[in-house]
Structure 1
Amino acid sequence: FSPDSRWIGFFADGQLKKISTSGGLPMTLCAAPVGAGASWGANGMIVFAGTTGAGLSRVSDAGGKPEPVTQLDAQKGEFSHRWPEWLPDERAVLYTVGTTGSWDDAQIVGQSVASGERSVLVRGGTNPHYVPGYLVYSRGGAIMAVPFDAARLTATGTPVRVLDNVVQSFDGAAQLSVSRSGIAVYVAGVFESDQRTLATVDRGGAATPLAAPPRPYATPHLSPDGRRVLVTIEQAMSDLWVYEIAPGTLTQLTFDSGARFPVWSPDGQRAAFSSNKTGALNLFVIDVARPGTGERLTSSDNLQIAGSWSSDGQTLAFVEQHPTQGRNIRLIAPNDRSTRAWLDSTFEEGAPRFSPDGRWLAYVSSESGRHEVYIRLLAGSSGRQQVSNDGGTEPVWARDGRELFYREGDKMMAVRVTSSGANLQAARPLTLFDGRFAKGSIDAANYDVTPDGQRFLMVQSDQQSSGSTMFHVLTHWVASAGSTLAPPR
């Protein structure tokens, strides 16, 4: 809500919008490809997280060009600032800092907008709210509270659990809203477990679970022969594992490396990945037959995310996020480690995927004002075509190069592709199935396609959130938590 309750702000179609509570058409305020929280101040400014993998921005409630409020500290492994909330004087903002592990391992920070000075208030929590005298936040489906001095940006005492069974999603959002007076409304339900399973899904949406034990899996990638799965297991220090489908064995590949976003080499002998163990996410490579920590390919202060290996094994496409320029796509030759820009723009680009013949790259861009999937000729600046038409992320090619798959929300989409020389034709996208499988991001797909193009390797929640459709309203709820919560003096 706006402070006067006359407007409602919301994210839709890759944009931050507002609509009057008395009705009418919505108004677009600015681009916001992936909304991850916003707070509307009485000063007429909205602070918001407009995309994953970036800091916070603010924009006038009349619309306009956003300006940055926070910047990621890549050296500390930060990959996202989200779920902001203005403090009462609107000189400082609360928000969540994502680093490694799950959102239960995140930090909650208070930051002065004028000076940029930060105070870490909580280590291990997400989605903060201010209740007079207290900071409340979510952790594992419970709402915690700790005494908080908003003027000094200091939290004191031991956090206390004040509410259980609040729906919390994988992106760190809790289904809880708090008014300035301290009244709260929430949706009750089971916390979405971070334990997930791997499953193959046919083109009609029927899922068949694999025998791999439940783990916090992410970004699975099938080997060239389709017999092995390279997958991230997310934890306090994420690592890569290899799952062999036929025998059903799961073997650790990296150890305490902070590894994620794995990509098979075309010969199935090596894997490229990103690691933030020694600073910002940078590129590494490892021999799959020799588990360990891998070999560093790049050394940069910028966050880098492995994307796709060309079919000849000579080039690796990756995303690099610059603090002021945003995400762009670059290429590296793993043999001599030389890098070059491929797509530098003022827009957000991600998830680069080489076509099987190595002549094209599919990728995601925000140039239209929301995330869409594009295909572009690798050499030269011509031959670009938009593939999706109603939003799209997570492009993955079929192994024969005749289809490109992507996701539109919960839908799996397929596009027939034909090319001749520098010309490419993409048919109208078709929906294959609509299912609630774990989503990826602008950076990387959270699924893969079998070599025959008939099944999809997907990640499923082991325990889906079971939220009710009823809102629960609370008054005087924090103060009644008990004598263990003493307000700051």
Structure 2
Amino acid sequence: PEQAMGEREITAKSDVYALGCVTYEMLVGEPPFMGPTAQAIIARVMTEAPRSLQLQRHTIPTHVEAAIRRALEKLPADRFQSAAEFATALNDPSYASRVTVTTLAQAPSSRWGRPWAAPVGLGAIAILVAVAAWGWLRPAPPRPVARFSVKIPEDQSIVTNRILSDLALSADGQNLVYVGRQGGEVQLWSRRLDQLEATPIPGTAGAYAPELSPDGKSVAFAASGHQLRVASLTGGPPITLLEENGASPSWGSDGFIYAAGLAGGVTGIRRVPATGGALDTITTVDTSGGVRGHSAPDVLPGGRGVVFTIYRSDLASSDIAVVDLESRKIKTLLRGTFARYVSSGHLLYTRSDGALFAVPFDEKRLEVTGAPIPILDGLDLDAAGYADIAVSRNGTLAYLGGRTLPDELVWVDRAGREQKLDSLAGLARVSGMALSRDGNRLALSATVEGNEDVWLYDLVQKTLTRLTFASETDWRPIWEPDGKILTYVSMTSSSRSLWRVSADGSSQPSQLFAWPGEVVQEASWAPDGKRLAIRVGPRAGTGRDIGYIEVGRDSVPTMLANSKFDENTPRLSPDGKWLAYASDESGKLEIYVRPFPEGGGRWQVSTDGGSEPLWSRRGDELFYRSGDQHLMAAQVRITPTFSVGSRVRLFSTANYGGDVTYTRYDVTPDGRRFIFARQPPTDRDLIVVLNWAEELKRRTEK
């Protein structure tokens, strides 16, 4: 009856009605309703009760008639809940005593008692069933595609780190998780698309690169030191699955979380059980041909393979590839920087110029099966080619439109008051900075047109000069003690080593130190210019380590801190006798000080997390970022021995660029002001496209 009324929602109770019709006919040889036409039958279905079974065949038990009559009730709510319940009633003689059976004392109609009546009725029923089946089984019309912009309240704003992706969607496309900021604290936020407000996710302070679990109840993310962590959306402490190289997680339906090191790292794609367990290496990086790492994994729905990026020094030469999880063989698919699989059978990927494409992809054969389709232009990519894009398994698309503005350099006094530095037009992400001894010149590393180089800004003359011109990355500059030369890290496809260049540009860059087979990441000069503290790694078994060299003499460093824990960010005191650094030996990064180059003793300076240590020029203060993203000033004494006094919280640094493995700010000679890189406010829109996979299918067909 509900189908005859045109109801769209057909439930199991409709099947109970159909089963009642079949049972009725099996017992008396004709359907419960008959008529000369399909329309007549439908009319009787809607308005009449079926004729009594016992009037037609007196041997039918009363409980059987009662059960069949209930199965044939007009309203679904009055029928049995299931076929199993119907069957139980048919076999239960006591069922008749619990219901009232109405026996219709009407004689059989002579017209319907004719021998040919049953075949006619059966034919009409067949027509009705055919019509109903067409209504049930006809293809559903394509779901409409809807585009809209989601307004994020200012106090829940999205933070665009420009390092990995900041967005994630649940499998059903109804829940968006993003990196957001409130009151100076950066953490993950959850925003259901049917709600106006987002809610913070407990235990995710400092998180980035979120990825929701297949059931949408938990989120994996990268945290301090590129750890891989998992937190429940409903609360509870997060668990740590990987201590390092846990960036860019992808949560598979096979119960594993796949992750990669940051682009340029020495690890490939790895996986770990979502509940914790042994680590499994999926890909190994071959550094030939300019390859700097494997990044951005995306597990395919069937679990056959993982799509990822082969990241190269020249971003335009990076490739999208897929690894077969059974054979572990890697197949290069096409040029691109970041890819995600779409349920329509496509790969959505970006090129280095910010263009977004889709290409048909067979997830079973792991191969591209058609030509690329242009989707969007002008997406903003980070330095490793990642885009702020998320695609749900049901085909919903979310992305940040527009371009992120270049970094601004700001002076910040000890009270947190800002003063914007004169605009440095053309510089994008500023990754390192160092003030000269007199505070009049600023060395910095910044990205211009996709390439990172060392620059010098004269704060008095307001002039900006480029000092390095290599096709690969030159970054993290520091001043040598004479104030005339800059030391920096040069990163190529096969090595990272220390180089030097004249601040006035009078000489060509030259290599200062390289450790074959090892990755040199940063350095700090002793004031006499004879010793250089360096940080290397990550290294197998010991992570990031700290040592030193006698300049011009040593080809291999003397190691100072090379435990199984991570030690990074070496900073020598102004008198060259003390080394400040960060270590995670306590379970989280803290700041420590030890004698340099040798000597006993070690002092912990931070008390609740710490990174990015920096000495004042007089050596009476040691600055660092706390675990809750505030700049701290620890009062210290360095003569005759080291001691720590009070610790003063200066201001929030949540709005300023940072790096847990490298100090990304500096202090003026008088200790009154600090210089930071800040991402300026932006009006980038969060765009959501519902049922976007349907549109992609139509565009492919065209």
For normalisation by structure 2, the TM-score amounts to 0.61
**Quick check: 278-287 or 49-58, which moved more?**
49-58
1:232 is displaced (CA, Å) by: 1.7
What is the percent sequence identity of the aligned residues? 32
- 8 A Cα contact 2:412 2:675, kept in partner: yes
1:5 is displaced (CA, Å) by: 4.0
Q: Which protein has the larger Cα radius of gyration, Structure 1 or Structure 2?
A: 2
1:174-185 equivalent positions in 2, closer than 5 A: 174-181=387-394, 183-185=395-397
Structure 1 residues 377 and 3 mapped into 2: Cα distance closer, same or farther (>3 Å)?
same
Structure 1 residues 377 and 240 mapped into 2: Cα distance closer, same or farther (>3 Å)?
same
Structure 1 residues 277 and 379 mapped into 2: Cα distance closer, same or farther (>3 Å)?
closer
SS in structure 2 at match of 1:399? coil
Question: Of the candidates 430, 435, 443, which is equivalent to residue 649 of structure 2?
Answer: 430
Structure 1 residues 60 and 162 mapped into 2: Cα distance closer, same or farther (>3 Å)?
same
1:78-477 equivalent positions in 2, closer than 5 A: 81-100=294-313, 107-113=319-325, 116-126=328-338, 128-138=340-350, 143-155=356-368, 159-163=372-376, 173-181=386-394, 183-193=395-405, 195-203=406-414, 204-216=416-428, 217-235=430-448, 236-256=450-470, 258=472, 259-277=474-492, 279-289=494-504, 290-322=506-538, 324-325=540-541, 326-338=543-555, 339-380=557-598, 382-408=600-626, 410-425=629-644, 427-442=646-661, 444-461=662-679, 464-468=681-685, 472-477=688-693
1:473 is displaced (CA, Å) by: 4.4
What 5-or-longer segments of structure 2 have no aligned partner? 1-211
Deviations 1:400-429 (A, max 9, x none): 112222234653332222234454325335
SS in structure 1 at match of 2:592? strand
Structure 1 residues 25 and 306 mapped into 2: Cα distance closer, same or farther (>3 Å)?
closer
Structure-1 separation of matches of 2:298 and 2:329: 16
SS in structure 1 at match of 2:696? helix
Structure 1 residues 237 and 25 mapped into 2: Cα distance closer, same or farther (>3 Å)?
closer
Structure 1 residues 207 and 407 mapped into 2: Cα distance closer, same or farther (>3 Å)?
farther
- 8 A Cα contact 2:477 2:488, kept in partner: yes
1:398 is displaced (CA, Å) by: 1.2
For normalisation by structure 1, the TM-score amounts to 0.84
- 8 A Cα contact 1:33 1:370, kept in partner: no
User: 1:456 is aligned with what amino acid?
Assistant: F
Deviations 1:329-358 (A, max 9, x none): 222222224322222122222221111111
Question: Of the candidates 247, 253, 258, which is equivalent to residue 42 of structure 1?
Answer: 253
Deviations 1:203-257 (A, max 9, x none): 2231221353341233111122222122223244432222111111122222225
Structure-2 separation of matches of 1:432 and 1:392: 14
Structure 1 residues 286 and 332 mapped into 2: Cα distance closer, same or farther (>3 Å)?
farther
Instruction: Return the structure number with greater strand share.
Output: 1
Greater RCO between the two (CA within 8 Å, min separation 6)? 1
Structure-2 separation of matches of 1:24 and 1:242: 47
- 8 A Cα contact 1:416 1:426, kept in partner: yes
Which residue number corresponds to residue 29 of structure 2? none
SS in structure 1 at match of 2:427? coil
Deviations 1:102-148 (A, max 9, x none): 7x775444334565543444544236445442221346766432233
- 8 A Cα contact 2:336 2:350, kept in partner: no
Question: Of the candidates 246, 251, 275, which is equivalent to residue 62 of structure 1?
Answer: 275
Deviations 1:274-333 (A, max 9, x none): 213473121222333424232352152332112211111112222222552332222222
SS in structure 2 at match of 1:480? helix
Structure-2 separation of matches of 1:352 and 1:120: 39
Structure-2 separation of matches of 1:318 and 1:475: 52
SS in structure 1 at match of 2:638? strand
User: 2:459 is aligned with what amino acid?
Assistant: I
- 8 A Cα contact 1:167 1:187, kept in partner: no
